[in-house]
Structure 1
Amino acid sequence: MIFSLFERKKANSALVTRQYEAITESARQPVFYRDMNVPDTVMGRFEMITLHMVLYFRHSRDAGPTARLVAQEIIEAFFEDIDHSMRELGIGDAGVPKRMKKIGRMFYGRADSYEAALAADDREALAAALARNIHPATPPPTAPSMQALAEHAFRVDRALANVAQAEYEGGTVHFPPAPVLTEER
């Protein structure tokens, strides 16, 4: 039984890697950091990857058991990536588990609030949740606007709702690009 789990994970490795790379590539679009008030920092990038993963998982869970398995493996790859990054930043073995627990709570808390706003078709609630998470030190109403990012998230959500089950199962889901809001220099 345990060996079949490892064989399945090994077989899914290429498609999980491909899909995780598509998620992170979409989250790294310069427009978020240049035009949509997301700080180009480690935490800003974490926030964008989290948002894109929530959008992906929202629809992959309805794409069948194979897609759900791939999605679970993508979550595992995400947390392995964070663990590796912490160690590269010099956080010792004793400090990583505590920080990983905190990161896990952050991720799932954001997933719950973003999912609720998306399910309710509430752009204001999503913009408020994004502002609270992306700019935690700046309370409303002085926090930078997250309206453009919320609008983009709803566009992506609609696009991912129309992706075929086979694309979720095959790790070939692509995200629509974010709109350019200012002229690039």
Structure 2
Amino acid sequence: MFERLKKRNQQRDIALKLYNNLVVCARSPEFYIHYGVPDSELGRFEMICLHAYLLFKRLGNTDESGKHLSQLVHDLMFADLDRTLREKGIGDMGIGKRIKTLARNLYGRVDAYDNAFEQGNEALSMALNRNLYATNAATDNQIAAMIKYITESLLQLNAQSSSDIMQGKILFPKASYER
């Protein structure tokens, strides 16, 4: 029994490392200064969703334990969002409704980005405009830079060993905007 609890805690710790890493990457000032992502709660949520999508996509290419880890990261993400809403003073009655809305938004982004990747850069550009840049029009250069970052992220994540990722070691590329 204690072994199972210990293993569960280890898996949660690994998921927490992955989640913290994606949040740090998503909050890189480069995205908000040069890539045209709105520096707002919504913009930060969109960047967390984008990085979560990239991580979930990579974990989906592993075995069942990777899919389980993906679910743990997902659960931590929504626990963090719940905590953030409560810190903002949202009461118990409003939390559930807002979390459902945020979950729908995340699932919508996952579907939009998956479909866009199958169709190419033009579709990805449209998906980014509808989601990431919905409240702040980005230039063509900013969108192209974001597409390049996303593509490089997927390549870099896929190049990392599954065993490293399953230990919580994951590296996103550094955001570097080139004009």
Shared fold per TM-score greater than 0.5? yes
Q: Give, in whole Å, the separation in 1 of the partners of 2:74 and 2:7.
A: 16
TM-score (norm 1): 0.87
> Could you tell me the percent identity over the aligned residues?
31
AA aligned opposite 2:131:
N
Q: Give, in whole Å, the separation in 1 of the partners of 2:39 and 2:170.
A: 25
In structure 1, which of residues 102, 113, 129 is the aligned counterpart of residue 127 of structure 2? 129
Greater Cα offset, 80-89 or 62-71: 62-71
Does 2:147 align with 1:147? no
Q: Give, in whole Å, the separation in 2 of the partners of 1:137 and 1:149.
A: 16
How many residues align? The count is: 175
Unaligned runs of 5+ in 2: none
Deviation sequence 1:36-87 (CA, Å, 0-9, x none): 1101111101000100111111111111122211111000000000000000
Q: Give the deviation of 1:13 after TM superposition.
A: 2.2
Contact 2:156 2:171 in 1 (8 A): no
Q: Give, in whole Å, the separation in 2 of the partners of 1:168 and 1:69.
A: 13
> Secondary structure in 2 aligned to 1:94?
helix
AA aligned opposite 2:117:
L
Higher helix share: 2
TM-score (norm 2): 0.90
**Cα root mean square deviation, aligned:** 1.9
Q: Give the deviation of 1:118 after TM superposition.
A: 2.2
Q: Give the deviation of 1:29 after TM superposition.
A: 1.1
- Corresponding residue for residue 166 of structure 1: 163
Change (3 A) 1:33 1:64: same
Greater than 2 Å deviation, 4+ residue runs: 6-9, 134-138
Equivalence map 1:31-50=2 (5 Å): 31-50=30-49
Unaligned runs of 5+ in 1: none
